[in-house]
Chains A and B, each alone.
Chain A
Amino acid sequence: EPEVTQTPSHQVTQMGQEVILRCVPISNHLYFYWYRQILGQKVEFLVSFYNNEISEKSEIFDDQFSVERPDGSNFTLKIRSTKLEDSAMYFCASSVRLAGSNEQFFGPGTRLTVL
């Protein structure tokens, strides 16, 4: 069964450093998402992406964040200058987005620890 994969599984970085989280969505999916979950809190939407453009972004997704689909298979989330409060699990998801049906398939997540 096809699945969304994410690398690395755990990333430790120093405050102020740039990180890139990588995702490989399911191959025939057209819609891509990033969510995050701070330890003990709800899963929060960050951004949705379609046709090489951001469709929607949340208030969390400020100028420090960017997304890219560089080569038709990978989907990346970059945080330019990490802060302590960026420590969280980051989940990538993808969907085919059939009309009225938006089953999103999530990856296993990347745990980001900012020291």
Chain B
Amino acid sequence: DAKTTQPPSMDCAEGRAANLPCNHSTISGNEYVYWYRQIHSQGPQYIIHGLKNNETNEMASLIITEDRKSSTLILPHATLRDTAVYYCIVMGSSNTGKLIFGQGTTLQVKP
């Protein structure tokens, strides 16, 4: 599975959009980009995933560049409850499901 690179930390003002970048320059054609988050010491929470098209759900939007070498997770209106560590994970469809968590990005939403 391709390696990902994320900034260690970011701040965002409450009510503003939070844009979290991820680089995955070695991603291959059958690998998906997944985003999870972990609030404090809770279990990780699935947010969204995509292959090459942009995706949106009730939590967030995922923008994947045309060359698929990077992506951005967008939380459109961040709230204090969105303060968490956000993980970008690349995984192939033939994988046994093992998620490899990096250090992620610690997003601090400030009032």
Contacts and interface: CB of A to CB of B under 8 A. Distances in A.
Contacts of B95: 102
Contact of A104 (B51, B97, B103): B97
Interface of B, helix, strand, loop or mixed by DSSP: loop
B51 A100 contact: yes
A42 B42 contact: no
Interface string B71-107: 0000000000000000100010101111111110000
A33 to B, nearest CB: 6
A89 B42 CA distance: 9
Interface residues of A, number: 30
B43 A109 contact: yes
A70 to B, nearest CB: 21
A18 interface: no
B56 interface: no
Given A35-B99, A55-B97, A104-B46, A43 B38 contact: yes
Given A91-B43, A91-B44, A109-B42, A104 B96 contact: no
17 contacts: A42-B101, A42-B102, A42-B103, A43-B38, A43-B101, A44-B101, A45-B100, A48-B97, A89-B41, A100-B93, A101-B49, A102-B91, A104-B44, A106-B43, A106-B44, A106-B45, A107-B43
